[in-house]
Amino acid sequence: MSDSIQNDAYKDLTDMSDSIQNDAYKDLTDMSDSIQNDAYKDLTDMSDSIQNDAYKDLTDMSDSIQNDAYKDLTDMSDSIQNDAYKDLTDMSDRIQNDAYKDLTDMSDRIQNDAYKDLTDMSDSIQNDAYKDLTDMSDSIQNDAYKDLTDMSDSIQNDAYKDLTDMSDSIQNDAYKDLTDMSDSIQNDAYNDLTDMSDSIQNDAYNDFLFMFMLLYTIIVQRSYNFIGRQDRGGIHATLASKEALAEEHFNFLFEREL
């Protein structure tokens, strides 16, 4: 009877122990799953919020401070990653500490399994958050680089257009100045040539008249000498008067030329 009672008691205690352990295992497993799900949701929401806020702030920045933004973005990305890593580490430590406290009475196997699950989840969440932040940073940097490239192309095109317009304007002004100068030079040259031509013609006319009178005087003088030698009555007197008249005219022209 004693053996039977002990056997029944052992069986009842074993069954009760197994039931308690199963219930405890189930409760702890459910609690661990709930904690992991809540932690995953909080971490995901926090990561999305940080990414959205960072993207909005970076998108709303002015084009004129894109260079500064690029530097700030790099610093901010490092800071966000460091803060996120620290927050995840702190939360993971708190969850592990709470889980460790609640699971103190559990068997070593349940505690080891729970600790392993939490550790794996924390590593996975941190890796996903790090990847998301890295991808966002790369995307923002690429957009900033594209904006800077487009801005540089626009500035170069505007500069090329301004230089082209300035060159055309300078050439047009130079052409006009040269044309005006050429017209002025031609007019001055024409006036100078006209004046010179008039002066030459006047000098030539006076020289011709002087030479003609000189030649005329010489001819009259020789004719007078010839006729004088013949001494034919009134012809000599007539020629003498003409010679005197020619000599007077010659003296007048000679004095004027002087």
Q: Is residue 206 within 8 Å of residue 257, measured between CB atoms?
A: yes
pLDDT tens track for 71-95: 755 676 566 666 656 765 666 567 6
Q: In the structure, how many helices (H) and strands (E) does the chain have? A: 4, 0
CA 46 – CA 53 distance, rounded (Å)? 10
Split at pLDDT 50, 70, 90, the class of 38 is confident
pTM of the model: 0.31
pLDDT of residue 88: 58
Q: 204-247 pLDDT, tens per residue?
A: 778 778 877 878 777 777 766 665 555 554 545 555 555 565 56
Distance CA(77)–CA(146), nearest Å, equals 19
